[in-house]
Amino acid sequence: MKKQALLFLLSFISTLCFAQGIEKTDLRVLIQKEDSLKKYAVKIIQGNEADHRFNADSMFTRVLVRALRTKNSFYYPFDSLQTVSILYSPDSVFRIFTWQMVINENVIRQHGAIQMKTYDGSLKLYPLIDKSDVTTNIADTTGNHFGWIGAIYYKIIVKKSSNQSYYTLLGFDENNIRSSRKIIEVLNFINDQPLFGGRYFSYEDDAVFKSAQSRYIMEYKKGAGPRLNYDKELDMIIVEHLVSENNQPAKKWTLVGDGDYEGFKWKNGKWVHVEKVFDLVTPDGQAPVPVPLRDPAGNLDEKKLKGNEEEAPVTPVARPKGKGEN
């Protein structure tokens, strides 16, 4: 009990430090709202029936908006909401909330909102409406917050070009029963409105020409864990190369990581594709990567392939419990 009390005290002190500038009465309101939000957030994930999850999601959204209307709520971390991703942009211009709701095992939708920092502490909020189900070519579309391609974001990278800030978002999408996705896309603000996507992914340095894309989509077998993250030292987005476990690369649900790496480097206002990352930084091809799935002759090792499938995704997302599950 003493340990729990100490952890609670440390958490409370952390919240107070982060929330400097919020009036005491407003801080009490935010703490109360967070307590309610925490309960609804759990029900969104753990509700046994779809209508229970829908109701919890609806109540969570309403209470969140009410909480964010509190003056200077931008500085309140809501760090007890463990099933909700809350990321601040590196320059503290905005923060983004994202969470998911499982409608059924084959339909998973993301919800979210962007809260902007304001000088007077008032609320400026953009709701994010997931339109991925009705978008035919998600790799090559742009949209505002009402045409969002849903994802649970786990990293924001800010880059500058021509005195304008571009925010690259790395996200995870549980997608459906057979495959998951990781997404790289660029967010910027035009006329004070958010715009997702754009021709920011170039393959101009590749040996084989490929047209630019509006976002990068990595779709792979459910349960596999290919890497996709930002390497600060290399200043690159590192992407694990995918290979089909049964030689059918068109079937995305057969793709798993093979231990080789490609990536994207920011150049002249766009992410330029690098076909072989570690050839650029390591002599003689001795790349410090996890155990490769291919031998020096380029053949797949089936034992290693099976082992790779057992890895968890980088950003696992909880699933709702089924009936009778503990």
d(CA 243, CA 230): 21
Q: Is the pLDDT of residue 282 over 70?
A: no
The pLDDT tens digits of the residues spanning 83-107 come to: 999 999 999 999 999 999 998 888 8
Contact 230, 152 (CB under 8 A): no
Write out the E strands in the chain. 85-88, 94-104, 107-116, 125-129, 152-161, 164-173, 179-190, 193-196, 201-202, 215-221, 228-231, 236-244, 255-267, 270-274
Q: Does residue 7 belong to any structural domain of this protein?
A: no
Identify the three-state secondary structure at position 53: helix
d(CA 292, CA 315): 22
Total domains in the fold of the chain: 1
d(CA 49, CA 42): 13
Q: Does residue 273 belong to any structural domain of this protein?
A: yes
Please state whether 162 falls in left (phi above 0), alpha (psi between -120 and 50) or beta: left
Q: How far apart are the first and last CA of the chain?
A: 25
Residue located via tokens 């099976």: 306
Residue located via tokens 């994207």: 264
Between the alpha carbon of residue 113 and those of residues 129, 142, 278, the distances in Å are 9, 17, 37
Q: Does residue 179 belong to any structural domain of this protein?
A: yes
Q: Tell how many helices (H) and how many strands (E) occur in the chain.
A: 4, 14
Confidence (pLDDT) at 273: 96
Q: Does residue 228 belong to any structural domain of this protein?
A: yes
Q: What are phi and psi of 167, to 5 degrees?
A: -110, 115
Confidence (pLDDT) at 301: 53
Q: Does residue 163 belong to any structural domain of this protein?
A: yes
* Count of beta carbons in the 10 Å neighbourhood of residue 171: 25
The pLDDT tens digits of the residues spanning 33-79 come to: 999 999 999 999 998 899 999 999 999 999 999 999 999 999 999 99
The pairing of strands 270-274 and 201-202 is parallel
Q: Does residue 247 belong to any structural domain of this protein?
A: yes
Between the alpha carbon of residue 76 and those of residues 38, 124, 293, the distances in Å are 14, 15, 45
Q: Is the pLDDT of residue 308 over 50?
A: no
Q: Does residue 23 belong to any structural domain of this protein?
A: no
Contact 140, 70 (CB under 8 A): no
Type of residue found at 244 = S
The pLDDT tens digits of the residues spanning 179-228 come to: 999 999 999 999 999 999 999 999 999 988 889 999 999 999 999 989 99
Expressed as residue numbers, the domain containing 116 is 85-309
Question: Comparing C-alpha atoms, which of 166, 162, 163, 183 is closest to residue 174?
Answer: 183
Question: Comparing C-alpha atoms, which of 176, 304, 153, 172 is closest to residue 243?
Answer: 304
Q: Does residue 205 belong to any structural domain of this protein?
A: yes
